[in-house]
Amino acid sequence: MVAPADAVSDSSTVTDSALLARLERFYGAVPRSSARTEELGPFTLVVSTGGWPYYARPGLGLEQGIRPHDVTRVRERQRTLGVPQALEWVHDTTPGLREAAVAAGLSVHACPLLPARLTRPGGET
Protein backbone atom coordinates (compact mmCIF):
# COMPACT_ATOMS: atom_id res chain seq x y z
CA MET A 1 0.00 0.00 0.00
CA VAL A 2 1.32 3.44 -0.88
CA ALA A 3 -0.01 6.55 0.82
CA PRO A 4 1.09 10.18 1.05
CA ALA A 5 3.60 10.67 3.87
CA ASP A 6 1.28 13.03 5.76
CA ALA A 7 -1.47 10.39 5.79
CA VAL A 8 0.53 7.92 7.89
CA SER A 9 0.83 8.03 11.66
CA ASP A 10 3.85 6.43 13.32
CA SER A 11 3.19 3.61 15.81
CA SER A 12 5.38 0.66 16.72
CA THR A 13 3.00 -0.96 19.22
CA VAL A 14 -0.04 -2.87 18.01
CA THR A 15 -2.70 -3.24 20.67
CA ASP A 16 -5.83 -3.14 18.54
CA SER A 17 -7.27 -6.68 18.63
CA ALA A 18 -9.56 -6.00 15.65
CA LEU A 19 -6.57 -4.87 13.59
CA LEU A 20 -4.59 -7.96 14.62
CA ALA A 21 -7.50 -10.20 13.62
CA ARG A 22 -7.74 -8.49 10.20
CA LEU A 23 -4.00 -8.87 9.65
CA GLU A 24 -4.11 -12.58 10.56
CA ARG A 25 -6.98 -13.17 8.10
CA PHE A 26 -5.04 -11.28 5.43
CA TYR A 27 -1.80 -13.21 6.05
CA GLY A 28 -3.72 -16.47 5.93
CA ALA A 29 -5.56 -15.61 2.71
CA VAL A 30 -3.03 -13.90 0.45
CA PRO A 31 -0.79 -16.83 -0.54
CA ARG A 32 -3.72 -19.19 -1.23
CA SER A 33 -4.24 -17.91 -4.77
CA SER A 34 -0.94 -19.52 -5.81
CA ALA A 35 -0.65 -22.32 -3.28
CA ARG A 36 -2.32 -25.28 -1.65
CA THR A 37 -2.52 -25.83 2.07
CA GLU A 38 -2.06 -28.74 4.45
CA GLU A 39 -3.29 -28.74 8.02
CA LEU A 40 -0.64 -30.16 10.35
CA GLY A 41 -1.71 -29.99 13.99
CA PRO A 42 -1.88 -26.32 14.96
CA PHE A 43 -0.22 -25.21 11.69
CA THR A 44 -1.39 -24.47 8.18
CA LEU A 45 1.42 -25.32 5.78
CA VAL A 46 1.25 -23.19 2.65
CA VAL A 47 2.81 -25.02 -0.33
CA SER A 48 3.45 -22.97 -3.44
CA THR A 49 2.04 -24.20 -6.75
CA GLY A 50 4.53 -22.08 -8.67
CA GLY A 51 6.90 -19.24 -8.07
CA TRP A 52 7.46 -17.98 -4.57
CA PRO A 53 8.07 -20.46 -1.70
CA TYR A 54 5.84 -20.04 1.33
CA TYR A 55 5.82 -21.11 4.98
CA ALA A 56 3.79 -22.63 7.78
CA ARG A 57 1.61 -20.40 9.97
CA PRO A 58 -0.46 -21.03 13.06
CA GLY A 59 -4.02 -21.85 12.02
CA LEU A 60 -6.55 -19.03 12.18
CA GLY A 61 -8.41 -18.93 15.48
CA LEU A 62 -5.88 -21.21 17.13
CA GLU A 63 -6.79 -21.73 20.78
CA GLN A 64 -4.34 -24.47 21.72
CA GLY A 65 -0.70 -23.96 22.60
CA ILE A 66 2.05 -24.91 20.20
CA ARG A 67 4.70 -27.30 21.45
CA PRO A 68 8.20 -28.02 20.11
CA HIS A 69 7.06 -31.36 18.64
CA ASP A 70 4.40 -29.47 16.61
CA VAL A 71 7.19 -27.36 15.10
CA THR A 72 9.33 -30.45 14.45
CA ARG A 73 6.41 -32.17 12.71
CA VAL A 74 5.80 -29.29 10.30
CA ARG A 75 9.53 -28.96 9.59
CA GLU A 76 9.70 -32.68 8.74
CA ARG A 77 6.84 -32.23 6.27
CA GLN A 78 8.57 -29.22 4.71
CA ARG A 79 11.78 -31.29 4.29
CA THR A 80 9.78 -34.12 2.68
CA LEU A 81 8.27 -31.65 0.22
CA GLY A 82 11.64 -30.04 -0.50
CA VAL A 83 10.45 -26.58 0.52
CA PRO A 84 12.14 -24.11 2.89
CA GLN A 85 11.70 -24.88 6.58
CA ALA A 86 10.04 -21.61 7.48
CA LEU A 87 7.43 -20.41 9.94
CA GLU A 88 5.78 -17.01 9.98
CA TRP A 89 3.49 -15.64 12.67
CA VAL A 90 2.45 -12.50 14.51
CA HIS A 91 3.87 -12.65 18.02
CA ASP A 92 0.98 -10.60 19.46
CA THR A 93 -1.52 -13.30 18.48
CA THR A 94 0.64 -16.41 19.03
CA PRO A 95 3.23 -15.45 21.66
CA GLY A 96 4.11 -19.02 22.71
CA LEU A 97 5.33 -19.99 19.24
CA ARG A 98 8.70 -18.29 19.67
CA GLU A 99 9.62 -20.49 22.64
CA ALA A 100 8.44 -23.65 20.85
CA ALA A 101 10.36 -22.76 17.68
CA VAL A 102 13.59 -22.11 19.56
CA ALA A 103 13.17 -25.34 21.56
CA ALA A 104 12.73 -27.20 18.24
CA GLY A 105 16.06 -25.83 16.98
CA LEU A 106 15.00 -22.87 14.84
CA SER A 107 16.63 -19.47 14.85
CA VAL A 108 13.93 -16.84 15.27
CA HIS A 109 14.20 -13.39 13.73
CA ALA A 110 11.79 -10.88 15.26
CA CYS A 111 10.51 -8.18 12.93
CA PRO A 112 8.26 -5.45 14.32
CA LEU A 113 4.73 -5.16 13.02
CA LEU A 114 4.38 -1.55 11.88
CA PRO A 115 0.87 -0.89 10.57
CA ALA A 116 0.14 2.47 8.99
CA ARG A 117 -3.02 4.28 9.90
CA LEU A 118 -4.23 6.22 6.90
CA THR A 119 -6.02 9.51 7.29
CA ARG A 120 -8.98 9.99 4.99
CA PRO A 121 -9.90 13.41 3.64
CA GLY A 122 -11.51 15.33 6.47
CA GLY A 123 -9.15 13.87 9.09
CA GLU A 124 -10.95 10.53 9.66
CA THR A 125 -8.90 7.34 10.12
Could you read off the pLDDT of 45-95 as tens digits, one per residue? 999 998 889 999 998 877 788 999 999 999 999 999 999 999 999 988 898
Tell me the helix, strand and coil percentages in the chain, rounded to 5. Answer: 35, 15, 50
Find out whether 80 and 45 touch, Cβ atoms under 8 Å: no
Q: Which residue has the higher pLDDT, 92 or 102?
A: 102
pLDDT level of residue 118 (50, 70, 90 thresholds): low
